Each structure stands twice: as C-alpha cells, then as structure tokens.
Structure 1
C-alpha cells in the first residue's frame, strides 16, 4: 500500500490553508472549495471522495487551530441518516455548510430519554458551535433500550443554549417534551460511521500536535538561555525530536486507517487505537509547547495556551483515551 500523499491531497491541503487565511466566515469559505461535501455520500449530494480527502482537511484545520467541529458532526450525522429522512432544503444547506447537523448521545451514554409517547427530554453533551439545523439523537427508552430520533431545533421544546469548556464556546441542546422523527436502520450504520468519525477527529488532533511542535521548535531556536539558543540544551532537543518523530508515525497510521475505512477493511479496534494515540500525542505535544514557552506560553491569548485548550477539549469529544484503549484492546490481542 502506498502511504505517500497524492497530488490531489496536496492541492486540497493548500486550498484549506488559503481559505483559513481569509477574513470571511470560515464555513462559507470552506464551502466554496467543496467542504463538507467532499466526503458526504453522493445520494446526499456530496462528492464521496472518502476519508483520504477528509483527513487532509481536518489535519489542516487542526494545524490552523480552527477545529470547526460542526463540520465533522455534519458528516457523521449524514453517515447515520437515510436521505429520505432529511428535507431537501435542509440537506442542501448541510452540504453547502450554511447550516449544520449534530449528534447527541453518539459519543457518550444517552443523556436524553424518550417517554412512552415518544417525546424527548434532557440536555445534550457539549456540542460544537454552529447554526444547528438538525440533530441525530440516541435516546434512552423506558424499557431500558435505546432508540434513534431526528430532531429539528425550533421553539421552546427544543432550544439551543450557550455553554463553554475550558473557555472555549460550545452549545447544548435542551429538549423538553420535544418531538422527534423516529429513525430505523441507524444501528446498522453506527459502527461504520463512528469508525470514520474517529479518523477525522484523529487527523484534527495530529494537525494540532504538529502546530504545537512547530511553535515549540521556533521558540527554542530563538530563545537565548545561558548565552546560547535553548535548543542547544540536549534535553530540549531530544524531547522535541522524540515528539516530532512520534507524530510522523501517527500521521502514517492515520492515512493507513483512512485507507482501510475507504476500502471497508477498518475495525473498531483500529480506529479507536488511532484516536487514543492521537489524543494522547496532542496533549503531550501541547504540554511540551507550554513548558518550553514558560510564563509567556500561559498567557490566555498565546498560541501555546490556545493549542493546549483545544487539545484538552477535542481530545475528549469522542471519549477519553482510556475508554478508547478499552475499545482497541480486544482487536489487538494476538
């Protein structure tokens, strides 16, 4: 298998970088180059280019410290849905990126319950910021099982509330006897959709880690300590070299796992392992960046502090590394 980056991926990465240097709304700018439609299924109006393209997009978003999580949530929600369940007008907005879909109770245990009449009650976990047009909700049923519902936020029964995690803006859905369209067939698509979602999230975290390493490298080459650049201290140079080398290895694993998903070969153990290592690596890289910058790195507006906050929040969005390692463990027993 060839793991080298092909010309299309390179051009896509350059296009995302260019978009993120503009002053317009990021989602609108990304939509102009086909995001999120790149990996959305053709039956939804997307290009269905697969995870190999999506991995490059998320890697560059992570490097730019622009997570834009509503983009990944939209793709995941559409992976779970049947096109017949989504109104055409909403579907067009989702593909264009003017509105977004989110998932509730997909990465965590259900926090929303469905009563005997099928109405939904509860508050969602923290969700990425964006104009929410639809929510795919996994609910706890009165009989102890789980169900799936599609909810269109509107009115007092289903409203969006501002929230935050570690100072980063987030959203929550508040459902009070909200009506939802009952969905069937989602369980059959759930594992495949989650595998792809983990690869996208891992790519974001690895891009974020690379940015932290680059920031740290630039700092230690210019910071004079004891009459010489900080990088000339052996512990500093060796520590950064180790983290940088590990990151290169995880990048290769991300592209390999994306290829496996695109060819129907990925297992839950593979994608869980990738995301667990990416989350741990992002936290390690951003902590090292903070440490090497010293007090300057701890300032709220600094790049090291911003990278660490993003790694802490995004690294837990689809479960803790410990939970992911438990998912990975059965598949790696030889």
Structure 2
C-alpha cells in the first residue's frame, strides 16, 4: 500500500511548514502568552498561504490539505485556533467542549464562537477571562447557554481528526528535538545516543509517532469513504491514539532532556504546555475509550479482525 501524500499536498505541506516556521516557532508562542502581536502574525501567515480558503467540508483534497496544515501548526506551536477557524459555522469558530467544565483555547480572541460537545449538542458560549494557566496558557473558561440544536456529526469528527494532526506535528517536532539532544549531549565521554536505554526509549517514541502518522492518514481517507457511525469511531480512535502517543513522547522527552525540558528556554517545554489542551480536551482518554465501547459492540469500529457478512452470490 502506498501511503505517500499526493504530490500537490506534499508541496503545500512544505510551503506551509516553511511559512509557519517564520512566525517564530515555540518561542513566538511563548511570547504570545504576554503579547498580542504573535497571534496576529500567526493569522497573517495562515491567510498568506490560503488557509482560510480551504473548505474542509467540500471533499478529500481540501480536508487533506487542512490536515497537513494543522500538522505544520502543531510543529511550530502556532498560537492560533486553526482547527476552530477551518470549521467555522455561519462565520463563528467551532470549538469542542466538555459541558461539565467548558474551556475554550484562544477564547479571548475577538469574533463569535459556537460550542459543541462530542454528541454534537450545540451551545453558545459566553467567554470569561483568560486564566494564563501554565498548562494551556490560552484557555478561557466559558459559560454555556442552554442547548441550541446540534452541529453535524461530521463536523465533530473532522474537528477531532484535525486536532489529532496538530498533536502529530507537535510530537514529530518533539522527537526531532530529543533526537538532536541525545546525539549531541556527551555523558561519560560518549553521546547519550550510544547508551542502550536511551536507544530503546527513542526507538519506542519514534515507532509511536510513525504509527500515529499512518493512522492519521488512514483516518482522513476514512472520513470520505466510511459510513457515518464508522467515521465517528475512527475519529475517536485517532484522538485517543494521539493523546496516548503525546504522553509517551513528552514523557520520554522530559526524561532525556532532564531539567532542561522543563525550562521555557527549551522548545520542548513550550510544545508540551501548548499541546496540553488538545491532549486533555474535550474529553480525557478514559472518556474517549468509554465512548468507543458501543462502537466495538455493534461493529462500527472496524479492525483487521472485523468479520463481514459474505455477499450473496
């Protein structure tokens, strides 16, 4: 099976990665915690490469382009709610929330918002004041209105998938950083990369990230081909895998970088803190897994071992 991206998508991904890197990467995201300019620069960069011309609901080409754009945004810790912009409803950004404790990333930005839970129930959020929390510095607590209709389940699925691509980009960059570190850091007269335990840890992280990448590409394809219930199950699986992979890679990164990994002078620290809302919201890994149980029972979650009824002769 050839899982390589189409040539035009690969070219767009390279252009997007290069342009978003010019915003400043994780250190620009760090400045955005106290300055407004980096977020304006991030939006300008997205507009320059045509991000807001993408229609993720129109078909597989724009959806895949949006996916690789989110991947580039994750790798640079872009301080802007890209997924929410790409899924605007009637001009308002769409965010996924946990109704029990609604939090909206970048909810302090001007403009309207629409909130939905994982069941697609629609709310109108009233934003509070940004908390400047260390884990998720752009999170804003929100008060939700009474339920006001629903959003399409396809929008919820795409939101989960594009958010997972953003996690993927962040973890790919984290793996690059830790790999460079263990190759250059000398301990006991040898690079850290020469020690067997370090090799095992980085190899496990690399396999996890590569597996997530392949699953992400497969899930984007499934969004355009699978039945609705199967698409929802696939989106949940991808987000669950993304969150678990992020925890593994970030744990390995902090272990191998030591105290440096917790200092904002290190890009790992910024990537970690700014990715936490995607890892934790709109639901924990445990809740995502619980939501998958019915899909396993009724056969909506397809696996290599799923049995299909034989077609009539």
Q: Same fold (TM over 0.5)?
A: yes
Question: 1:87-111, CA deviations, whole angstroms, 9 ceiling, x for partnerless residues?
Answer: xxxx4xxxxxxxx6243xx431266
Identify unmatched segments of 5+ residues in structure 1.
Answer: 79-85, 92-99, 112-123, 140-145, 152-157
Aligned to 2:138: 169
Matches within 5 A, 1:130-279: 131-137=109-115, 148=122, 161-166=129-134, 168-173=137-142, 184=149, 186-187=150-151, 189=152, 191-265=153-227, 266-279=230-243
Secondary structure class of the residue paired with 1:209: helix
Q: Take 2:195 and 2:63, find their aligned partners in 1: how far apart are those partners?
A: 40
Q: Answer with 254-263 or 33-42: which moved more.
A: 33-42
Question: 1:192-221, CA deviations, whole angstroms, 9 ceiling, x for partnerless residues?
Answer: 111111110111111111111111100000
Aligned to 1:83: none
Larger-gyration structure (1/2): 1
Aligned to 2:32: none
Could you say if the C-alpha distance between residues 233 and 138 of structure 1 is closer, same or farther in structure 2, counting changes exceeding 3 Å? closer
Q: Take 1:332 and 1:249, find their aligned partners in 2: how far apart are those partners?
A: 21
Secondary structure class of the residue paired with 1:36: helix
TM-score (norm 1): 0.73
Q: Take 2:94 and 2:291, find their aligned partners in 1: how far apart are those partners?
A: 23
Could you say if the C-alpha distance between residues 223 and 304 of structure 1 is closer, same or farther in structure 2, counting changes exceeding 3 Å? same
RMSD, aligned CA: 2.8
Identify unmatched segments of 5+ residues in structure 2.
Answer: 24-39, 298-305, 307-313
Secondary structure class of the residue paired with 1:126: strand
Could you say if the C-alpha distance between residues 243 and 332 of structure 1 is closer, same or farther in structure 2, counting changes exceeding 3 Å? farther
Could you say if the C-alpha distance between residues 135 and 211 of structure 1 is closer, same or farther in structure 2, counting changes exceeding 3 Å? same
C-alpha displacement at 1:236, in angstroms? 0.4
Match of 2:87 among 60, 67, 76: 76
C-alpha displacement at 1:285, in angstroms? 0.5
Is 1:27 aligned with 2:43?
yes
Aligned to 1:310: 274
Q: Take 2:77 and 2:116, find their aligned partners in 1: how far apart are those partners?
A: 30
Secondary structure class of the residue paired with 1:171: strand
Q: Take 2:84 and 2:222, find their aligned partners in 1: how far apart are those partners?
A: 21
Contact 1:297 1:305 in 2 (8 A): yes
